Amino acid sequence: MIDMPFNPVERAEETERLVMQGGQRKYYRFRAAPYYGGIATADAVGCCFLCAFCWNYFKIITPQKYGKFYTPREVSGRLLGIARKRRFRLCRITGCEPILGESSMVHIVKVITGVLEKERALRFVLETNGLFLGLQPDFISRLKVPKLSVRVAVKGWDEPSFRHITGADEKYFEYPLLGLKRMIEEGLDAWPAVMWDTFGESGIQKLKTRLVDMGIDSDIEIEGLEKYPYVLENIVSRKVEILDRPGRP
């Protein structure tokens, strides 16, 4: 059992030691996914948050039990193979937090450049919670790669909601937003994404106000909850409210 709230930076350091090995990172699956109209996907393990609605929760809690280590070249090669076979124009890494510190940052940049330098028609979508992009702004300069888009999954509209959803200390709430702001200011293609089922219209409006107050000019991508049985069980145990979205079953 993990005590909450926890320090996500310390958790990131502990997780990175488990999922990184000599420049290699742990992945458990490579697949074609339907999102974004079709995207070549690598599923990795390990995150610094413990979001109540995470569809990969068990692999996040115990990443040492899942997957195997791959070099950046092996990962980019597999993504390229899927994209070419399915005629996709997008690639991504998901199921994890790709940036947990220096070692994982080096790895992800090599994967991204390995894909985009081999196939210039492709675009890479970096899905991140944005924590380290706010904590370590120098990481942002390494993401100035042509045809890279950065999707920052924002986990709350204020400090208490962030703590409740992620399990992390609320003082870290604003760092992902600071990272997003810097990326936009430096010309990167970056935007925030939120889970409607936990935010609702009220939470989204509160986040919009926070973004405006911070000088962030960006549309917000809205995603829906993957209602797997174990996800719903975890949400109930964490006492996170799930809202009914109008027009959805």
| Residue 109, φ and ψ in degrees, nearest 5 | -65, -40
What is the number of domains present in the chain?
Answer: 1
Query: In this structure, is residue 243 part of a structural domain?
Result: no
Look-up: residue for tokens 């409006």? 205
pLDDT at 247: 58
pLDDT at 2: 80
In our burial notation (b when 16+ CB lie closer than 10 A, e otherwise), range 63-93 reads beebbeebbbebbbbbbbebbeeeebbbbbb
Q: What does pLDDT average to in each consecutive run of 10 residues of the chain (249 residues)?
A: 91 98 97 96 97 92 96 98 98 97 98 96 98 97 97 98 97 98 98 96 97 97 89 90 71
Helix H segments across the chain? 8-19, 57-61, 72-86, 102-116, 131-135, 138-141, 159-166, 175-185, 196-213, 229-237
Residue 205 maps to which CATH number? 3.20.20.70
Query: In this structure, is residue 3 part of a structural domain?
Result: no
Look-up: residue for tokens 């697949």? 31
Beta 221-223 vs 90-94: how paired, if at all? unpaired
At 133, the amino acid letter reads L
At 138, the amino acid letter reads D
Residues 190/201, Cβ–Cβ less than 8 Å? no
Query: In this structure, is residue 136 part of a structural domain?
Result: yes
At 139, the amino acid letter reads F
What gap in Å lies between CA 83 and CA 79, rounded to an integer?
6
Query: In this structure, is residue 23 part of a structural domain?
Result: yes
Query: In this structure, is residue 204 part of a structural domain?
Result: yes
Structure token digits, residue 5 = 């709230």
User: Phi/psi class of residue 36: alpha, beta or left (left: φ > 0; alpha: ψ in -120 to 50)?
Assistant: left
Predicted model pTM: 0.95
pLDDT at 73: 98
Structural domain boundaries enclosing 123: 8-237
pLDDT at 44: 97
Query: In this structure, is residue 1 part of a structural domain?
Result: no
pLDDT tens, position by position, 167-215: 999 999 999 999 999 999 999 999 999 999 999 999 999 999 999 999 9
Beta 221-223 vs 189-195: how paired, if at all? parallel
Query: In this structure, is residue 2 part of a structural domain?
Result: no
Query: In this structure, is residue 88 part of a structural domain?
Result: yes
Query: Which are the contacts of 83, defined by CB distance < 8 A and separation ≥ 6?
Result: 40, 89, 90, 91, 115, 119, 122
Query: Which are the contacts of 115, defined by CB distance < 8 A and separation ≥ 6?
Result: 76, 79, 80, 83, 91, 122, 124
Three-state DSSP state, 30? strand
Beta 90-94 vs 68-70: how paired, if at all? unpaired
pLDDT at 227: 85
pLDDT at 248: 53
Look-up: residue for tokens 């390990």? 46
